[in-house]
Structure 1
C-alpha cells in the first residue's frame, strides 16, 4: 500500500503547487487507494503500486487531491449561495450525506449561547421520525452529546463552558472577560447500534423502529464561532466513514459552520430590527363602529422607516396614516418613531384639517431633522357618514376597491416632507360606498415589484381588481390577495429595499 505522506520533488517531473480553492488549503492528505471514491469523483488505482514508476504514483496522488478539492469546491460553492439558516442547513445536510456515504440524517441548530434561533432539519426523515429520535435521552444520542459539549471520552455530565455566559457584558452584568476559544468536540461514530456499549435501551429501540444501524455525528463548531449545533447521518447497515471521508467532511463542516455563523448574525440582527419596528408601531388596531381595519407590514433585512397608524378621534372619527422616512436601519427606525408620535399629537389637536396636520409635521421635520425627508398621508375619516378627508406629502394615492369600481383617488401632487418651500397641495374628500375598502400603502409596495412606476401602479390596480368577490367583505383578505399578487415570493431577504405597509379600511 502506498504511503500518504507528502512526496518530495521528483527528478523526472515538476510537482505543481495546487492553489487554494474556496478557502481550503490544497495540502489534503491523499486517500488510500483501497477506499471507494465519493460519488462522481474518479479515483482509480492499479492493483499494485510497487510495480509502478514513481512519476505515475505522484500523478495518481495529485489527481486524487485535485479530485477531492474539486468536490469540496463544488459543494462549498453551492453552500455559499444559500441565504437563510434553514436553506444552509438543508444544503449542508445533503452534501454531508454524499461525503460520508449515508442516505439519511438530521441537523440541529442550537447555538451554545442560548440566544437562538433553534431548528431541526431532516434528510430522508419525516417530521414524526425526527420527533421519535428526540425521545432518545440526550446523553445517549450522539448529536445530543455534541450539543452538550461532550465527546466519546467524556463522562456523562462533563459539558465544558466554551465562552462567556449569556448576558455577560450587558448593563448590570459586569465587564466581559476576554472570550475563550471554544473547545470543539470530536465527531462521534457509532458503527453498530446493536453492539455499541453504553447506549441507552431507548436508543436501540428507536434505531430498530426507524431502520438505521449506525450513525456518524459531526459538531457544527469552530474555535472562533463556538458550537452552533450538530449534524448526524444515519446508515442502513453497520458502517462508519473511513479516514478519507472523515477528513473531507471535517473540512466541509468547518466551512459550513463559519457560513452558518454569518447567517446566524444576520438573522439575529434582522429579528432585533423587526422587534424594534413592531414596538414602535401600534400593537393592535382600534375598533371603531362603521369601519373594519387590517394592516400588513413586511420588513426588509435592515429594517426601514415605513410606518402606519390608526387613531380614534373625538365624535367617533378615525385618523388613518401611512408614511415612510428616508434611510434604513436603527436611525431610520428612531426617526420613524418620533415622526409617528408627533403626527398623533397633531391629529388629536387638528385632525379635521389633514393639511394643517401635515404642515405642522413638515415644520417639525425641517427644524429637528433637516437632513432627512419623509412622505406621509393622513386621512380624517367619519365612518358613520362614510366620509374621508385626506392630504398627502409626496405619497402615493389611495386605492378604492369595491364591487362596482377599483380606482385611485385623485390627490394633489406635493413634494415630500422636508423638501417643501410652501404648502400648496389642498386636501381632497371622498365618500366610499357601503362595502368598499380604501387601501393606504407606502411606496415600498410599488418599488418592491421591481417595475417602473407606471407599470407598478397598473399591476397594483389589476391586483385589487382581481380580489375574489367572496373576500371583499374582509379587509385582511383584500390586503393578503394584493400582496400575494404583487409579491408572490414575499420580500426577498437577499435584496435590500424598503419596507412594505398596506393599511385596509372597509366601510360598512
Structure 2
C-alpha cells in the first residue's frame, strides 16, 4: 500500500517557463537564412559569363550585409587576367574617384596586395571619424557620401586570391555577426564559381586568339576592287572563316566557309581547309568547281566525320566578272543604288556529305559601284528568326544602306551587322554562332 498525501504542494515561484518561443524564433531565423542563401546561390549558379557572375555577386553581397552600394575588383593572383572592376550604385566617375586613393590605403587593395592581417574580412565602421585612415581615403568617402565599409576577400584553395568585394554604407555602421557569417559562406561559394568561369573565359580567349591567327592578317589590294571583312566571334570558338588571295593577271580569289562544331577541333579543321583552298586556288586557276572538288577530297581524307560549307569565287576586277561555286553555303548578296538581290547559285550538299562533290559554277557581273557580300550562316541564325525572315531581314538591311556609306565596303558591312544582328543581347549567349562578312566593292 502506498500512502497518498492529502496535502497539495504550493506552487513554485521564480522558475522561468520553457524557452519554446526563443527556440522557435532561432529556428525561424536559421530557416530564413538558409532559404536566402539557397536562392542567392541558385541565382549565381545560373550565370554563365564572368561579367554576369560579378554583377550578381556584388548585388547579393550588398543584400546580405544591408548595404546600398559596393564594388568588386577582380584581379587573379597568378597575373593571367582578366582584371575588372564592377560597381553597384556607383558611376564610372565615382569608381574613378575611388581608384585615386592609394592602393595600400584601401581595404580591397590590402587584400589584392596580400598585406599582413588580410586573411579575414575587414570592417571600417566609421571612416570619417577614424583619423588613422589615409586622408585621401576619407576625402573621397566624404565626397561620394559613404561613411562605412565592409570588405570580403574572394579566394579559393586551388587558385588563391581572385579579388575582393567592398560594400559601402551611407551612415556609420557595421554588419551584424549573423550577416558577416552569411556573406562569408556566400563568398566562398561565389569564389569557386568565379574560378570556374575564369578558367572558361581564358580558354575562350585562347581559342579566339588562335582563330584570329588562322584568318588573313590583312586583305590584298587589287585594282578595281576594294575589300572589307568583319567577324563576330561566338563565345565558343567556331569554325567560320574567310580568305582573299591575289592570283595571276590581277585576278582575285574570294572564299568563305564554315566548319560544323566548335572548339579546338573546329579550329583545326578550319585551318586545314583554308590552307588547302589557297593551294587549290593557285593550281586550278579559273575553275571554282575544281577547287571545291579538291577541297571535298581533302575533307573526306582528313576530317571524315566533319561537315563543312564553302563558297569560292574567281574574280576579274578589270572585267567586273565573278565565277563562283558553292557547297551548301548561303548565296552571295549584291547591292547597289539600283538593285539589291541574291545571286542565284546551284544547289549542292555541304562538303563531306557526298562521295564526290561537283556542281556547275555560276557567272555574273556586278555593276560599277556595287558591293558583293559573302557571309556565313551565323549571320542568319543569330537573328533568331525563321530562315525566310532572316533572309528578308538581310535583304532589307542591304537595300537600306545610306548612299553616303556605299562608297566604303567596310561601312556597308558595319551597317548590315548593326541592322541585322539583335541589339538586346540575343545571339551573345553560349550557343551563339560565329558571324563572318566579306564585302567586295567593284569600281
Rounded to whole Å, the distance in 1 between the matches of 2:358 and 2:65 is: 71
The Cα shift of 1:275 comes to 0.5
Structure-2 separation of matches of 1:231 and 1:300: 30
Residue 384 (1) aligns with residue 318 (2): yes
Q: Which of 81, 103, 106 lines up with 1:116 in the alignment?
A: 81
- 1:134 is aligned to 2:99: yes
CA deviation string 1:153-190 (max 9, x = no partner)? 36xxxxxxxxxxxxxxxxxxxxxxxxxxxxxx201111
Q: Name the SS for the 1:385 alignment partner.
A: coil
C-alpha contact (below 8 Å) 1:300/1:491 kept by paired residues: no
Per the TM alignment, residue 204 of structure 1 is displaced from its structure 2 partner at its CA by: 2.3
8 Å contact kept, 2:289–2:358: no
Q: Deviations over 1:35-65 (max 9, x none)?
A: xxxxxxxxxxxxxxx9664222221111111
- Whose helix proportion is higher, 1 or 2? 2
Are 1:287 and 2:221 counterparts? yes
| Shift in alpha-carbon separation, 1:192–1:423, aligned structure 2, 3 A | closer
Contact 2:296 2:356 (C-alpha < 8 Å) held by counterparts: no
1:436 aligns with: 370
Q: Deviations over 1:365-396 (max 9, x none)?
A: 22333332321111111112211111111111
Q: List alignment gaps of at least 5 residues for structure 1.
A: 1-49, 155-184
1:93–1:106 Cα contact (<8 Å) kept = yes
Matched residue SS, 1:92? helix
Q: Does the 8 A contact of 2:101 with 2:137 survive in 1?
A: yes
| Unaligned 5+ runs, structure 2 | 1-14
The residue aligned with 2:9 is: none
Which residue among 266, 286, 308 is the counterpart of 1:352?
286
Partner of 2:111: 146
**Using CA pairs below 8 Å that are at least 6 residues apart, which structure has the higher relative contact order?**
2
Shift of 1:262: 1.9
Secondary structure of the equivalent of 1:420?
A: coil
C-alpha displacement of 1:193:
2.0
The CA RMSD over aligned residues, in Å, is 2.0
After the TM superposition, which residues 290-305 of structure 1 pair with which residues of structure 2 at under 5 Å, given as runs?
290-305=224-239
Q: Tell me the residue number matched to 1:317.
A: 251
Q: CA deviation at 1:498?
A: 3.3
State the 1:117 CA deviation: 0.5
Q: Which moved more, 1:112-121 or 1:244-253?
A: 244-253
Shift of 1:225: 4.2
Counterpart CA distance in 1 for 2:192 and 2:58 is: 15
Aligned to 1:457: 391
2:61 alignment partner, one of 73, 87, 96: 96
Match of 1:399 in 2: 333
Q: Does structure 2 retain, via aligned residues, the 8 Å contact 1:319–1:351?
A: no
Equivalent residue for 2:184, pick from 250, 270, 289: 250
Determine if contact 1:214/1:234 at 8 Å carries over to the other structure.
yes
Separation of aligned partners in 2, 1:459 and 1:128: 39
| 1:492 correspondence with 2:427 | yes
The CA distance in 2 between the partners of 1:103 and 1:498, in whole Å, is: 38
CA distance in 2: counterparts of 1:430 and 1:52, whole angstroms: 97
Counterpart in the other structure of 1:72? 37
CA–CA distance in 1 between the matches of 2:33 and 2:270?
53
Equivalences for 1:147-296 in 2 at 5 Å? 147-151=112-116, 153=117, 185-196=119-130, 198-296=132-230
- Give the secondary-structure state (helix, strand or coil) at the position aligned to 2:346: coil
Counterpart-to-counterpart distance in 2, 1:263 and 1:491? 20
Q: Name the stretch that deviates more: 373-382 or 77-86.
A: 77-86
